[in-house]
Structure 1
C-alpha cells in the first residue's frame, strides 16, 4: 500500500478554484468581480473573502519608529560640472566626446582606396619633423636626399686657405653686397591629410605628440624658431585620433604633459596684446579642443581642476 501524503494532491486537470488560497472545499458563489452588496448567505460571503484576499499584499511591513531616512548618494557623473564660466560647459564636453569618439572610429576603418605612399622624415629626428611640418623642401628632412646632399658636399674641392687669394668681395667689386643676406623664402605649412594620417601608426602618433609638447614648451620660452600655429593644432587633433584607447602609465603621462602645455599656452595667450599676435597663431578654442580630447577620451578628469585654477588666474 502506498504511503499516504500529509498534503492533499492537486489534480492538474481540476481547474475548480484558485490554488493560491488553498483547495476549495466549501461551495463559493459565482458573482461578478464588482459585487458590492451585503452577502445573503455563506457562499456569497466566501466569495467576498477570496476576492479581497487576492488584493492583499503577500508581505506587509511594520513601520520602524527608530528608522532614519537613508541618504542616497548623488548619481555618478562622468563629466564634472564646469564651475568657472570660462571652462567648456558639460553639455559641450559631452557632445564633443561623442563626436570625437565617432571620428576616431572612422579614422581606423579600412579602405579599398590605394593611397600614395609619401616620404616621411625619420621618426627619431625631431628637427627633421619640424622642417617637414613647416613645409620646408625635402632636402632638409628626407633621409635619402639628405644623404645625397652630404655626398655632394664631400665631393666638393677643399676650400683655399685664408689669405691665399684675394677676398671674395673686394672693395672695388660692385657686386659685393652692402647688407647681410636675409632669408626671404616663405614656406607653406604642410596640412594633415587623410592619406598622410593613414600612414601613421599609434606608436608613431604618440611620439609626434611628444614632439609637439616639446615644441610648445619652447614656444612658451619665447623661442622665435618655434611658433605654434593653427596648422599645428590640426596636426595634434588628428594625431590624437590615432592614439590607442588604452595606454600604459608612461604613455598616459605623455598626454597629460601635452594637456598641461596647452593650459600654459592658454594662460600665456590671455596676457598677450592683440598687436603681438599673428593671424596664424593657435586660438584658445583649439587649445580647449586638445585639452578636452585628453581629459575626456583618456579619462584624465582631474586635469579639469588644474584648468579651473588656470582660468581663475587669467
Structure 2
C-alpha cells in the first residue's frame, strides 16, 4: 500500500519562476522559494574564513645568553659569605596569655616566678597524685598492665592476685568503683562510679536533630548489650535524658528515623517483659519496686507510640 505522504527527497512545496522584471518582493510562496534558491546559487559553494597569520615562536636562548642577560641587572642585596651570629644575653621572654577582663591587669608579674631549671630539678612529677580524681579501679588495672609489659616471660607467671594492695586501694574502694552491682534490685548512684548530670533545657537545645538521633541510636545499642539488665544497668536519670532528647525531636521524621525510634521502643518493651518474668519467677511481693523499675521504659514507650503514631507497638506490649 502506497503512503499518502511523499517520500523523503521529493519536492513538497511548489517553486515558481522569477519574472524578468522581478522587483525583489515575492507575491506568493512559490516566488519566495525561487528567490531564496536564486540567492543561494549566487553564494560561493565553499565558505571559509581567512586564515590567521602564523606567529613564529621566540627563539629559545641558551644558558650562556641567559646568564649574560641576567648579569645586566644589579643585585638587590650584597651576598653574605658567612653567617653572622650575635651573642644573646639571655633567653627571650615567652609571651603569656593575658586576661582581657576590665578588672585584670594587662602586665604579667613574673618577679616571684621560680627559675625553670631549678623547678625541674627540685620537683618531681607525681603521676598518681595528678590522676587522683580518676577511678581507682582504672589506676589499679593500669599499673598491672605496666608491670606485665615490663616483666620478663618468667616473672609474668607470678601470682598477681594481690590486686588492691599493690595499687594502694582498699577492697571497699574497688567495690564502689565497679560499674554495676548485680545483687541489687534498684540501681543507686554508687553502682555506676560517676556523677550523673541532669538534663537541662540549654544542654538539650544545643543538640542538632542528627546529633539526637545518633545519640539515641548509641543508647539503644548500649541497652541491647548481652550483660545489660534494666534493673541494674539503667538509672532513672538515663531515662530522663532519653525523654528530653525525644522531646527535642520533630514529629515529622523520615521512615529511617522512625525505624530507629521503633527499635528503641522494642528495647523498652523487652525490658518491661523481662521485669515481669523475673518477678513472677521469684515470687516476690514487691509490686512497688516493680512499678518503680518499669516506669521509665513505659514512659519512653508511651512517648514513641503517642508522638509518632506507632500504635501497633502498644497493642503488642499489651498482648505480652
Higher relative contact order (CA 8 A, sep 6+): 1
Task: Name the structure with the higher helix share.
Answer: 2
TM, length-normalised to structure 2? 0.39
Q: Which structure would you say has the larger Rg?
A: 2
